[in-house]
Each structure stands twice: as structure tokens, then as C-alpha cells.
Amino acid sequence: MIFYPNAKINIGLNIISKRMDGYHNLNSIFYPIFDIYDILEVVESKKFEFTASGIGIDCMPENNLCYKVYTYFKERYDIPNIKIHLHKNIPIGSGLGGGSSDATFTIKAINNLFELGLDSYVLESISAKIGSDCPFFISNKPKYVTGTGDILSDINLNLSNFNIQLYMPKIKISTRDAFDKILPNQNNDGKILKNIAKPIHLWKNHIHNDFEALHNSKSKIIKVKQTAYDSGAIYASMTGTGSAVYAIFEKN
């Protein structure tokens, strides 16, 4: 079975508070981007194998989220061995959710391959055990996201009448390091949901990614964002903890 795990962008990302368990409560809107995707092949095999190609994966196979998904299902559902091949196109450390998407599509693949019959509620519950961003990719539809990223609410948002351009500064950002440096602000709770209803050309002044404050005006990320605005974007932002930047343009 072959799947195409796609990317996502964050429209706004506000860190509200730090929890006792070390994680952070946040507000964001996740929006799927289908133009950039990895390629995931999952087939039954005599022995378990995980291989990868494309953009280099900087970890041991047993630390890859796809491997962790297999281990979870092997322990709880006693599934047969599988071979996973992952071809990476989504840059690692970009904030586009590639690793979470790969893991979630592996969950979908195993559910389909072995006809486990698990519904979307169960799949979301399993994916939340793998990573905070993973449940989003079960439905793969725009969502208002709260909690640690695991509480998803439907939102009516359709950007199909706009062009979304991605920019990839050659910078790899550690999500853990970014969260260690961020200063939560309880006053921002709920602002993204309120402001997303405004016309898109007003988002620039009302919807922000808190992690951009970790970069000074001379950083590549901020320069790329300004270049997007200079090129006519009506809204531009870093996604996730970075380093990718996206820009929304009117269609000509």
C-alpha cells in the first residue's frame, strides 16, 4: 500500500501556558497542504524492515515515529511483520509536520492493510500517543487546535481561492529548543479563533506565530517573510516552530 503523507501549516501559533508535565498549552489553526508530501509504502513482510530515502533522516530507525507506530500495533494487536519504506520530501525541522504526518499515515496504513476496522476516534487516540500533532492528520481537514495540539475542533476555512507559496530557508530548528525559549502568554487565549473570521488581508496585524519573536530582523526567516510581503503576499508567517515560511497570495 502506498500513501502520500502531506504537510500542514499553522495559521497563528500562540503559546498560552506551560503545563506541570512540561508540555505547553497552545492555540493554532492547522491547515493541510497537499502540494508537498512524503511517499510511504507499507507491505506485509517476513521480517520487520524500515528503510528511507530522499531527505536524510537524522535518527536511528527505532527512534523514527513510523517505527514507533509499528511497535505500538505489534504489542497491542499482534500484527504480522511489515516493511516500511519512507521517501522524504518534506524538510525535517521545518514546522510542516512531516514526521507527524508520516506516523499518522502509517497508522492508517496498518489499519487498512490488516483490516483492523478501527474508527477515526480510536485512530486519533492512538496517534495522540505518538505525537501531539499526529491526530490532525487522521481527518486532514482544517482544525482549530488547543491543548498540547491534541484537542481538535472543526473550523470552516477554505483557502482554495488563494495561492499558498512555501519558502524553505536552509535552517533546521529544534522544536524542543524553541519551546524551551518561548514565553507563554495567557492573554492570547482564544484570539486566533476570534481573528480568523476577519478578512485575510487583516490577518497580518491580528494573527501571529509567537515563535517568530525568537528570530531577529536579520534572520533568514524574517527576511524571507518580508520578501513574501514585498512580492504581494496578503499574509505571511512562519509555520510551527519553523523554519518554513508560507505566504498567501490572491489568485490572478
Structural domain ending residue among the three candidates 120, 135, 153: 153
Structural domain ending residue among the three candidates 122, 153, 184: 153
Q: What is the mean pLDDT of the chain?
A: 95
Strand-pair partners of 27: 14
Does the pLDDT of residue 112 top 80, yes or no?
A: yes
Q: For residue range 22-35, list pLDDT tens digits in order.
A: 999 999 999 999 99
Q: 136 and 36 share a domain? A: yes
Range of the domain at 187: 157-250
Q: 46 and 117 share a domain? A: yes
Among residues 38, 88, 108, 133, the one annotated as catalytic is: 133
252 neighbors 22 (Cβ within 8 angstroms): no
Reply yes or no on whether 198 is catalytic.
Answer: no
Count of structural domains within the chain = 2
Q: What was the pLDDT predicted at 249?
A: 98
Q: For residue range 36-57, list pLDDT tens digits in order.
A: 999 999 999 999 999 999 988 8
Mean pLDDT of 100-118: 98
Structural domain ending residue among the three candidates 153, 184, 208: 153
Reply yes or no on whether 133 is catalytic.
Answer: yes
Q: What is the CATH number of the domain that holds 132?
A: 3.30.230.10
66 neighbors 51 (Cβ within 8 angstroms): no
- Residue with grid cell 521480517, as numbered in its chain: 47
Q: 94 and 146 share a domain? A: yes
Q: 102 and 167 share a domain? A: no
Q: What was the pLDDT predicted at 58?
A: 72
Q: What was the pLDDT predicted at 189?
A: 97
**HSE (CB half, 13 Å, CA atoms) of 123?**
22
Does the pLDDT of residue 60 top 90, yes or no?
A: no
Q: 161 and 245 share a domain? A: yes
Does the pLDDT of residue 89 top 80, yes or no?
A: yes
Q: What was the pLDDT predicted at 133?
A: 93
Q: 35 and 136 share a domain? A: yes
Q: 145 and 60 share a domain? A: yes
Residue 204, SS3?
A: helix
**What does the angle CA 183 – CA 189 – CA 193 come to, to the nearest 5 degrees?**
125
Q: 22 and 115 share a domain? A: yes
Tell me how far CA of residue 57 lies from CA of 5, 6, 176, in angstroms: 16, 17, 17
Does the pLDDT of residue 96 top 90, yes or no?
A: yes
Q: For residue range 160-210, list pLDDT tens digits in order.
A: 999 999 999 988 888 889 999 999 999 999 999 999 999 999 999 999 999
Q: 111 and 204 share a domain? A: no
Strand-pair partners of 8: 32
Distance from C-alpha of 235 to C-alpha of 252, rounded to nearest angstrom: 16
Distance from C-alpha of 3 to C-alpha of 41, rounded to nearest angstrom: 6
Distance from C-alpha of 2 to C-alpha of 37, rounded to nearest angstrom: 12
Among residues 8, 88, 108, 143, the one annotated as catalytic is: 8
Q: 77 and 168 share a domain? A: no
Q: For residue range 123-146, list pLDDT tens digits in order.
A: 999 999 999 899 999 999 999 999
